[in-house]
Structure 1
């Protein structure tokens, strides 16, 4: 039996206001707490927090120097439309696309990789 559940994901960045706004718009959330150091966005099943860290360096993908440490896979029904929307909000498409027919790799405004993926079996 589980003794805990995932309640929050925190991502490092140099501009928490901008990064939180990106994720709030992309995932349909709302800001619930904000300071100069962090901004938290309430999503349907968890909270995503963007936190300012000194000398932030975005992860590098696919070469992994510095390593990505974590990435999110977001399930979508239309890859092209989801990609357009994410890019309109400030994401950028990765050059390397291992499986573009099933999954698209992008970077959020702070440089964290994330994937837009069709549901398995779609």
Structure 2
């Protein structure tokens, strides 16, 4: 068994795919449409975004509307990555649970995601 896709619910799949495309550089899937959009490296994992009628954004850090899932991204420079993502439409919630180890941001559809300093291997 091999994981082939991770899909996030949202109100506007094309807009959320555009945010993550600009954030990661992953190429858009060739068959994107208003109900479902995705980003995918050739032969790689699909990051998908599906339209859900009545979508309610997660409320992080509270759990009135649970986050359900989140994405982690390794970055070389936390400050640079944060500034770039905020300019693309992400927001920074407070409080931050462990700012020395990772930074939580919220995408335009309300999903929390983490920026983690890249570690030397």
Structures share fold, TM-score greater than 0.5: yes
Q: Structure 1 residues 43, 85: closer, same or farther in 2, change over 3 A?
A: farther
1:38 to 36, 40, 43: 36
Report the equivalent of 1:64.
Answer: 63
Q: Between 53-62 and 37-46, report the one with greater CA deviation.
A: 37-46
Higher strand share: 1
Q: 1:21-32 to 2 correspondence within 5 Å?
A: 21-32=18-29
TM-score normalised by the chain length of structure 2: 0.91
Report the equivalent of 1:107.
Answer: 106
**Cα RMSD after superposing both structures:** 1.6
Q: Where in structure 1 are there 5+ consecutive unaligned residues? A: none
SS at match of 2:28: strand
Is residue 9 of structure 1 aligned with residue 12 of structure 2? Answer: no
Q: Which runs of 4+ in 1 moved over 3 A?
A: 119-122
Report the equivalent of 1:77.
Answer: 76
Q: Structure 1 residues 108, 82: closer, same or farther in 2, change over 3 A?
A: same
Post-superposition CA distance 1:60-117 (Å, at most 9, x none) = 1111111100001111111100101111111101111111122110000100000001
SS at match of 2:2: coil
Alpha-carbon distance in structure 2 between the residues aligned to 1:74 and 1:91: 14
Alpha-carbon distance in structure 2 between the residues aligned to 1:85 and 1:27: 11
Aligned pair count reads 119
Alpha-carbon distance in structure 1 between the residues aligned to 2:71 and 2:47: 11
